[in-house]
């Protein structure tokens, strides 16, 4: 079986050092065929494919448009890995990327209700309600900061089902509608500068500040000091 492509939605206007090191980690540890940058292509990138998309909506609308564009492109592999530019694969994955989830949406909702409000929580609830209306009463959350295996046709069906939602949780909608299952892990996003993270983690993710100024960023940069073939000055 051929290795999957990587699909990476990228926002406009970012120098994006996180993407540089994410690519280094993927080249080192994540078997793949091609890299597709969807949206904005930073000038330093090399040896990648590019799908331009409009960036005039909300971040949810922009990323959803990017995923739809990738799923509709004939040259993107039928199964691809949906990545963000802040997802780092810290250990080799010789058998490919596993399917991972975050546990029940209902349990995650309880956590978010205690600490936040706003569009993300609204989107979680709207996606949960949509899934319940489609027969998935106890859906799993796939809103993890790790690459996610995606089938193009299945994701397009999910996006069509959720196209009326303002902030659809598209990973969760797809994962449940396609019944992809998987193993449960805690999210790997490191939010602050403190040294409280697992240095032996298989996967890590950062915010721009925790990457630039935190212990986790120092750890990631130290793990991947050499440029990848996707950077300016390499072939």
Higher local confidence (pLDDT), 14 or 71: 71
Architecture of domain 5-223: Alpha-Beta Complex (3.90)
* Torsion on CA atoms 125, 128, 134, 137, rounded to nearest 10: -130
Task: Tell me the average pLDDT across 38-53.
Answer: 96
pLDDT score, position 113: 84
Residue 235 has pLDDT above 80, yes or no: no
Cβ atoms 41, 230 nearer than 8 A: no
- Give domain limits for the chain: 5-223
> In the prediction, which pLDDT does 14 show?
67
Do residues 173 and 142 lie in contact, with contact meaning Cβ atoms separated by under 8 Å?
A: no
pLDDT band of 71, cuts 50, 70, 90 = very high
pTM of the entire structure?
Answer: 0.94
State phi, psi for 61 to the nearest 5 degrees: -65, -40
């Amino acid at each position: 079986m051929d290795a999957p492509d990587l699909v990476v939605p990228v926002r406009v206007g970012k120098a994006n050092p996180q993407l540089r090191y994410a690519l280094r980690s993927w080249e080192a540890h994540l078997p793949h065929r091609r890299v597709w940058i969807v949206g904005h292509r930073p000038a330093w990138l090399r040896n990648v494919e590019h799908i331009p998309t409009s960036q005039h909506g909300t971040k949810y609308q922009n990323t959803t448009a990017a995923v739809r564009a990738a799923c509709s492109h004939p040259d993107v592999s039928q199964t691809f890995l949906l990545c963000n530019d802040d997802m780092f694969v810290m250990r080799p994955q010789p058998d490919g990327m596993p399917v991972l989830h975050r546990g029940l949406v209902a349990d995650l909702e309880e956590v978010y209700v205690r600490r936040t409000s706003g569009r993300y929580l609204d989107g979680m609830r709207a996606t949960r309600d949509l899934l319940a209306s489609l027969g998935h009463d106890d859906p799993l959350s796939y809103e993890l900061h790790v690459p996610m295996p995606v089938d193009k046709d299945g994701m397009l069906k999910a996006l069509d089902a959720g196209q009326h939602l303002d902030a659809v949780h598209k990973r969760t909608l797809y994962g449940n509608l396609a019944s992809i299952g998987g193993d449960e892990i805690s999210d790997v996003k490191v939010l602050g500068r403190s040294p409280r993270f697992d240095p032996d983690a298989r996967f890590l993710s950062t915010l721009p500040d925790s990457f630039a100024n935190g212990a986790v960023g120092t750890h990631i940069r130290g793990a991947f000091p050499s440029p990848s073939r996707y950077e300016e000055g390499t072939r």
